[in-house]
Amino acid sequence: MAYAAFRSIGAYAPKKILTNDELSKMVDTSDEWITKRTGIKERRIAAKNETTSDMGVEASKKAIERSGLDKSEIDMVICATISPDYFCMPSTATIISNKLGLGNVTAFDISAACTGFVYILSIAKAFIESGMKKNILIVGAEKLSAITDYTDRGTCILFGDGAGAAIISATENKNEAIIDVHTGADGTYADLLMTPNGGSGSAHDSLDQEAGSCFMQMKGNETFKVAVRTLTKDVVEILEANKIESSEINHFIPHQANYRIIKAVGDALKMKDEQVVLTVGKFGNTSGASIPMAMNEIYENGLLKSGELMLLDAFGGGLTWGSALVPFSPLK
């Protein structure tokens, strides 16, 4: 049987920094409020002509280079995004594969909001274990600034742009395989987080509508409570199912939505500060890109070593959630 190994990570953050002080000039808020309630100090904003696929390509180049693979060996590309280059088609994954010159690959997007990266990890694992694919490029990429309402202080302080990518490859060595991935969803909470217009369920009867009607809307406080509950339950379940103690985790990499959520979940799981990866302060919430960007941060800082065990935990619009137990298994 083939197993799926997590071979490499890469990420990209746009140059432009949007600070809390700059946001305080745009909406009625302050650096003090944002820092205290979210832990966010700044976030990155893509250039006007920089697309989600552009950022995905930059992250992918690093992941491919670090994997030791030749790009011709990649047979599938999956992109998790809620801010695709184009509404409906073509998919951002096909644009990324074309820009990378990957030739004939299977390529598609999925929509699971902030849980997107864990979802594409589970899909990649399944394709590899079934023997259908050998080397899969997974990309979480978001230009959330394109769907953020910069007059709504309840959301615009949270979100940022960026991308992360990873290579998942077939292996016969069970010791280097992804241990488990759990995913779930509950549509009864769909209205907590949504972009209400622009699709076939839209209140508008045509796509010819004001751009503003396609922005994200969120019931932040309700989302917060469900997030803490779900993220904690999710981790407890995956650890118990695999008979792993939280003390055995080298790097707990949760979705970077809010420092208070991460702290509450980390405390409930008795994680030590040094186990918990935190990038929300510098990147804000980058949805599907947040976990791979956080993982890349520890990789580039020399903190992620071969064989170390990562625990991923995500939560987002849908509502969706997911967790994964992933040993880091680079070839070089």
**Interacting residue ranges for ligand ACO, rule: CB under 6 A:** 29, 33, 37-38, 113-114, 153-154, 157, 193, 220-221, 223-224, 227, 257-258, 261, 285, 287, 315-317
Nearer to ligand ACO, 46 or 102 (CB): 46
Pairing of β 193-194 and β 135-143 = unpaired
Cβ of residue 289: shortest distance to ligand ACO, in angstroms?
Answer: 11
Query: Which among 316, 290, 326, 319 is positioned nearest to 115, based on CA atoms?
Result: 316
Cβ of residue 287: shortest distance to ligand ACO, in angstroms?
Answer: 5
Nearer to ligand ACO, 113 or 123 (CB): 113
C-alpha distances in Å from residue 312, one per residue of 70, 83, 240, 275, 327: 27, 22, 15, 12, 11
The catalytic residue positions are 114, 255, 285
Q: Which stretches of 130-219 are DSSP H helices? A: 153-156
Q: Which residue has the tokens 């799926």?
A: 4
Q: How far is 96 from 77, CA to CA, in rounded Å?
A: 8
16 in Cβ contact with 22 (< 8 Å)? no
Nearer to ligand ACO, 167 or 228 (CB): 228
23 in Cβ contact with 34 (< 8 Å)? yes
Nearer to ligand ACO, 136 or 156 (CB): 156
Cβ of residue 63: shortest distance to ligand ACO, in angstroms?
Answer: 23
Cβ of residue 8: shortest distance to ligand ACO, in angstroms?
Answer: 26
Phi, psi of 166 (to 5 degrees): -145, 155
